[in-house]
Amino acid sequence: MVMDESVNPRLDRLFSALADSTRRSILMKLTNGDEGVMELAAPFDMSQPAISRHIKVLEAAGLVTRHRQGTHRMCRLAPDALGEIEPWLDIIADRYRSNYNRLDAVLETMKPSQQGDD
């Protein structure tokens, strides 16, 4: 099986879904538990169809699932929704760690006596 991490349509959908502040806000709310579509739409200055479109994008990205509870349409954070993003988060974290470790090595090569022009 070819595992080319750079070609990953699911990750593409995931990151484009997350690249929108409204959709991130919706996800934040859902981390506290299931919410109805109406309740999710309430804080936004946006029509309910517009919110529904955002929810569909989140659903397509595998971040949110929808179900019915009586007459209410409910949204739920998909189990392990953000699990796939963790390797990417590690990259962000590693950036600081390895950057500064490398900077240590660069600084080693800069003799204090060579400050300024040399």
Return residues touching another protein (CB under 8 A).
4-6, 18-19, 21, 24-25, 27-28, 31, 82, 85-86, 89-100, 102-108, 110, 112, 115-116
Question: Minimum CB separation from another protein for residue 64, in Å?
Answer: 14
Of 70 and 108, which CB lies nearer to another protein in the complex structure? Answer: 108
CA distance 88 to 63: 16
Question: Minimum CB separation from another protein for residue 74, in Å?
Answer: 20
Of 49 and 112, which CB lies nearer to another protein in the complex structure? Answer: 112
Of 6 and 69, which CB lies nearer to another protein in the complex structure? Answer: 6
Considering only CA atoms, give the Rg of the chain.
22
CA dihedral 35, 39, 44, 50 (to 10 degrees): 80
CA distance 35 to 27: 10
Question: Minimum CB separation from another protein for residue 85, in Å?
Answer: 7
C-alpha distances (whole Å) from 100 to each of 13, 40, 96, 103, 107 are 32, 42, 6, 5, 10
Question: Minimum CB separation from another protein for residue 82, in Å?
Answer: 6
Of 24 and 72, which CB lies nearer to another protein in the complex structure? Answer: 24
CA distance 54 to 37: 11
